[in-house]
Amino acid sequence: MLKRLLAVALTLLPAFLLAWGANGHRIVAKICYDNLSPTARARIDAALGDNYLEQVANWPDYIKSERGWDFAKPWHYMTIQPDETMAMVADRNRGEEKINDVREGIELMVEILEGKTIARQRMKDIMEKSKVQPLAGSLDATALAFLIHFIGDVHQPMHVGKNRDSGGNKISVLFFGERKNLHSVWDTEIIEHERLSYTEFAKFASIHTRSRQEAWANDSLEEWIAESVVLRERIYNTLYDYTDRETGLPDFSWNYQHDFLPVVEDRLAAAGYRAAALLNGIYK
C-alpha cells in the first residue's frame, strides 16, 4: 500500500519541492544501507517493516503536499548568509522552541533513534498537535526516513543556501538548452543526465570514493555543513563562466557536467557513508 501511495504522491508533487530529487535520496540511502553493520541493518529492517530504506528516503518530500506536515518544511534546509557562520545561526536559533533548520532536524532524529525520552515525546507532541500519523505507524520508521533524507539534504550545497535567492531557486539557467533554475540543476538534472538507475549511480559513486569512506565517517555534522557552504560559494563563483549569448543566462552543458558530476558523486557518497556510520553508532 505504501509503495502505491508514494508513487501517486510523486506524480502530484511539484518538482521544486524535491531536494536531491527522488534518485538522489535513493542513492544516499542505498550507499548507507550497503555499509550498515549486521546489527544496524537488522534493527532498521525491523523498524521499517515491509518498507525499504531507499523507498522511505523520499517520504519526507512527498508529505510536503499534506498541510499537516508543514511544520517540517524548514527542516530540509539551513540558511547561512555569506557573512555568517554555522555557529552564529545556531546561537540565533538556540532560544527558540521550534525546530528551525536541517541541523536541528538531524539532531532531533538522532535523539529519537537513540531512545531519548524527551526527544521522542517532543516529536509525538508535534505530530499529535498537527494531526498527522507517523510513517508505517512507527516513530522509529518516521525518524529513520527523516534522518536519511535530511543527511542527504545537508550534503546538497544549495540546501545550505542564501535566502535572497531561495537557495538558487530564483536563479534561471540553461541546462543543455533547457531553462531550469540553479537549485533544480543540483537537485536533479546533473544526476538524471547520466541516465543511470539509482543502484548503478550508487555503485559508481562508491567505487570512485571508497578510499575516503573512513575519513568521511569520522567528520562531524558541523563539518558536513561547512563543506556545503564552501561548495555553494564555488557554484556561485562559477555561475557565469559560460553564458548564452541570446538570453544572457548561465549556460550549462557538457563543460558543467564534466566539472561538477564528480562533486555530486562525492556529496552523495559522503552522505551515504556518514549516514551509515551514524546509524552503526546508534545501533551498536
Closest CA to 153 of 186, 122, 194, 175: 186
Q: Whole-model pTM above 0.75?
A: yes
Range of the domain at 9: 1-68+76-284
pLDDT in tens, 142-159: 999 999 999 999 999 999
Q: Which three cell numbers stand for residue 11?
A: 506524480
State the average pLDDT over residues 1-15. Answer: 40
Instruction: Please tell me the distance from the alpha carbon of residue 104 to that of residue 101, in angstroms, as a whole number.
Output: 6
CATH, residue 19: 1.10.575.10
pLDDT in tens, 57-70: 999 999 999 999 99
Band of residue 85 on the pLDDT scale cut at 50, 70, 90:
confident
Q: Which residues contact 173 (CB under 8 A, 6 or more apart)?
A: 179, 180, 181, 182, 185, 239, 249, 250, 251, 252
82 vs 43, 59, 175, 230, CA distance in Å? 41, 31, 26, 10
Q: What are phi and psi of 252, to 5 degrees?
A: -100, 130
Q: Among all chains, which residue has been given the C-alpha cell 525520552?
A: 117
CA torsion sign, 200 to 153 to 277 to 85?
Answer: positive
Number of domains making up the chain: 1
